[in-house]
Structure 1
Amino acid sequence: MSDRIQKNDLYVYDLSDEILSSLQLISFDSDMNEVKVVHSDVEIENKKEIEVKTVPSCASCGINAFPNDNSDPRYHFKTDLHKFNIKRRVYGLSPVDEQEFRQLIKSKETATAEDSDSDSLSGEDDETDEIEEDDISTRGGEQLTAILEHELQDLMINDNQTGPVSHLNTQSPLIFMHSAELSGPRIFGAYKVLFNAEELKCPLKSIHHWKNQDKTEHFSVLFMIGGGHFAGAVVSHQKIPTNGNNKNKYILSLQEQSVQFLEQKTFHRYTTRRKQGGSQSANDNAKGKANSAGSTLRRYNEAALKADIQALLKDWEPYIAKCDNIFIRANSVTDRKIFLDNTCISKTDVKLKSFPFTTMRPSSNELRRAWVQLTYLSITDKPQPKVKKLQTDHSKNKPRKLTNSPTPVPLKTEDEQHTEKLISFIQKSKAPLLISYIKKNNLDVNITLQPSSEYHHTPTMLHYASSHGLKHMVLVLLSTLKADPTITNNVGKTAWDLASDTMVKETFQLARYNLGESFTDWEQSHVSGALSAEQIDERHKKIALEEEKEKKDLIEKELQAAKERIKEEKDAKRGPGMKLGAASSNVQINLNSLTDDQRMRLMREQRARAAEARMKRFSGN
């Protein structure tokens, strides 16, 4: 950022006068080439003086006043120069003056003469070398029309590959603008989503209008949802003054501190399957409805999250009806439907937009950061034009095909052919075919795989099977084929060192137990202590029990939290004078979503608590 520009001066709804007056919109063709365009935006409303043209002029040709002679000014509008500039203006190109127009015609006529037959030009060269200056601006006819059409083709105006010129041809979420306040090739960028369809046609006029409007009456609504987290806010376009704030004292930047929230709300529900990812509804749609306490709890929380959000939308309906923009960040279709199904937000609302950049977990601070990124001009580089392949006529310079000299294909060596077969058997875990192929071709089980440049990290079959997690093939290579586990690769790692899976390492330890300590130097192979199949099974059972216990503890914790929420909701809804029957019916509805074991456990806890309460009352008396 330039030293002359402060970040606070780049707020798009309240740009500083210096930056605002220096902005120049950049237009591009469809190939992302910058094109200079004379923009016809309406004059700014706060301009104090308007120049009144009292002399004849031509905006298409860039002539402010005609020469003060006795000629009729209307004569200019009949010339080919004026007609040519009108065509250029239609396609957004700058006009040419009379001298450039003469040079253009002369160059085109010269090119036409060179392409014509020499016999037809022999008697006309002396007559067409020079063009009368007095006659150039009034010259017409078929020849000049062809020259103008050829010029338009050279400019690629009528070419479909270029297309119309516009400031929206950026293939970027930004609109780009030049500014004299920036040094070097840097330019400003503003997000397109801030403008509606009409404002996008004249973005500079819209930015001037935003600066002059009463920003206290304009606001936008932001929503983010993901992973059970929700954050929403109503943001005023009027900033909060931050003069005197210490930036280092806060986690937020000064720009984020200046964001004014008229309303905000955040909450979280447990809806995501832990350690596995994804919502419960997505898992049910993919694999069918699961029947567990955790899945039941997540389904309940998904419904509760939807109800909470839609209740908030109903409360904020007056804001949503009058806001300028509605930004929603919802990664899944299910989350997006929460805002659009049976709510005050219509799917066809032109104010409905998405964040044009990646956002983090929904929170109040993330809403502030996203609003700052949206509403402050960014300083960036101008986009690069597309690289187009030159279309040339290959028919004349087309090389001859050499039919008798085909490109030689290098033949595979015998070791490379064996390697291809062996790796195919290992990848498909076809142990009988692997053993048969090795015995049939009398191969060494420790054969070095070829080519070595491709298998330098896994030089042997044992290395390859270990690094790819093929535990069955590791056991076959060690126990059946007696592969050497002490061989190292180019960086000194054995097959054991390449195993990243615990199951594969247990296979090495099982092979060590089966082969015995006298088979090889196991310390050199880096394989850990030997384990029998029974010991491995006991280890797996122990791990499974620990995971089951952890899972049960988690379910108990979530059930306890659910019971406390149910009790709080029941106490809030019950009020004074509520009948016992009504309370029991609500509890019965909640119990229907639990399994039989869970229901019995919950009822035992409730009876125990009731007994404790009675004993406390009796002891108090």
Structure 2
Amino acid sequence: MTSDTAALFRLTKHTTFVARWRKLSNPYCSALFMVEYTRIDTLELKAQNNAAVAVPDDPELLASNSSRRSETEDGAPSSATSCGLCGLSFPSVQEQRSHVRSDLHGYNMKQKMRGLKSVGENDFEKLVGDLDESISGSDSDDSASSDDDGKKDTTLSALLKKQANIADPDFDDFTTTKIKVGAGKPPLLWFSSSKLPSNVALGVYRTLLPAAIQVGDAATILQTIKDKQLSPKPPPTQPTSAPTEDSGGVPLPRSLQPDTSATGPHYFLCMIGGGHFAAMVVSLTPKMNKKAGVEDRAATVLAHKTFHRYTTRRKQGGSQSANDSAKGAAHSAGAGIRRYNEAALIAEVRQLLQDWKVWIDSSELLFIRATGTTNRRTLFGPYENQVLTSRDQRIRGFPFATRRATQAELMRSFVELTRVKVSTIDEAAIARKAQEEEAARQAAEAKAAAKLATPKPVKPTKEEEEASLHTTQLQALIRRSKAPALVSYITSNNLSPNFTFFPSDIPQNHHAPTPLHLAASLNAPALVSSLLLKAKADPTFKSAEGKTAFEIAGDRATRDSFRLARSELGENAFDWDSAGVPAALSKADYDARVQREKDEKAAEDAAEQQRRKTETERLRNEDKVREEQSKEKKFGKGKTLAQVLPEKTAQEKREEEARGMTPEMRMKLERERRARAAEARFKAMSGNK
């Protein structure tokens, strides 16, 4: 490979299951195990605290990027007994679990949430030591409160409280609204080279390196990458004889033929979830091929297998076993099929792992994605003759987002893992962004300084607190129209009847500053009379608007209460004219006027009632006449039955009687009629004699 070209893994549809490395136009993009065009000795490890700058979040800063970055932050490799957040490893799972419950781990979790760096054990012990010194000096002052609380704060909570008191909350909220990328361990290690432009950085996934090397110095990391360089192999020899009828198709490479074992470094990749399972063993040794006179490199898939079983409940999600555990076993046909498929998938996966045990045991790294208890139990057991164990130091996760478990997704993940990332940075954009951040920081500092300069509200004095309490009580009694209680409260507390509500600058108290003003504005004549006659309130007192209580009264009854008080108290009690109160109104005149108005109202009501009765009767008669006229117009004038039907002759009567009879009955009827006529003549003749 020349210095102006590079290779990249890419899966092709080929019956030999070979992944091709197609040539790219980007001269810097290459596989991790083939960095031969750029000497590794020229590589320099960039400061990892600038990882966020190397792969900026802002699209403006990213001029070109040859690979799609992962969306996940926590892509650091971690073994089964290590803490990626704190950067610690443990010999057993029990110690790891104890560490997760420790104050150090909890403190680092808080640091990551704030976008800050994690601290080591020594730094944390120093922080706790400073905390103990500060607490010991204040034990005597806080002993009473500690006894009341019943228990002391934990070390972690006390440390967080201390830091919260030191920091300015507003400033912290402003500066940490956007969590910085790379607050923990970034998934990529970035390098620069003297043979590359200064604004170009090369990235390698941290998870490809051993856990002990990841925390080492730059020389160790570069030496490890150098040791991983592999020489390409010649293309596999194919049989020259024509394929027989039994074989058919294209022959498989030697790695896939029976009775062969994997030689050379290789990775095991596995994904399981939602009833889908895919596994693959890929050799890291590239193979050189020539096609049409052009060099081409290929990565051989030593073995691959995919399974799919219907185990997920449609439109509801979750496995059937999880649903059975939560709600009990369902007895539907679909549930039975899913249970059978789950058991079959577990058996098939474990059998495949057993068949691939030689390849798995000799793999350099094991990349596994298995989310959920059921999927992890399928791979890691425990079960008899299990192949994988969760404590294996070679196990890695995929430090980027993955899709459904398929062979193509495994190959894409392998390409993404082993491909060198290239990032080109716009220095002008970085400087512009730094200026914006500096301006934002200065604005936040100015805001914090202005807040500190703002005077705190003055604590009210004892007199102001008492005035506020009296204001609340008096206004509540007035609004509930409690006249006796109002007078009693003023008397018992030795308050002036012209007590001014506090504070006086609010709109409510500005319009009605005294109890008399408030009672008049609420149209409460009973309260006005009680305040004037019993409490001796001054009606001449004016509000800030220059109005007396009488001038803000809203109805006649309230204004009459002022005139009655003027009559009862006398003209010398107050300057009634300056208060705006009209001439005095005696009680007798008031009662007479009330009675007169009552009588007038009763007479008006009676007249109105009579008018309504007369009008109702008139309307009823009009409706009756109108109805009769409507009937006469529709049917005509009514007549008697004699007027309507004309008199019939004897012959017409006889014909009407015989209508509908047979001839025999008519003859019989005629004989009877003649017999009656003869009898009538005989009687008449005998009577004349």
For the aligned pair, the TM-score class normalised by the smaller chain equals 0.3 to 0.5
Q: Whose relative contact order is higher, 1 or 2, with alpha carbons under 8 Å and at least 6 apart? A: 2
Scaled by the length of structure 1, the TM-score of the pair is 0.38
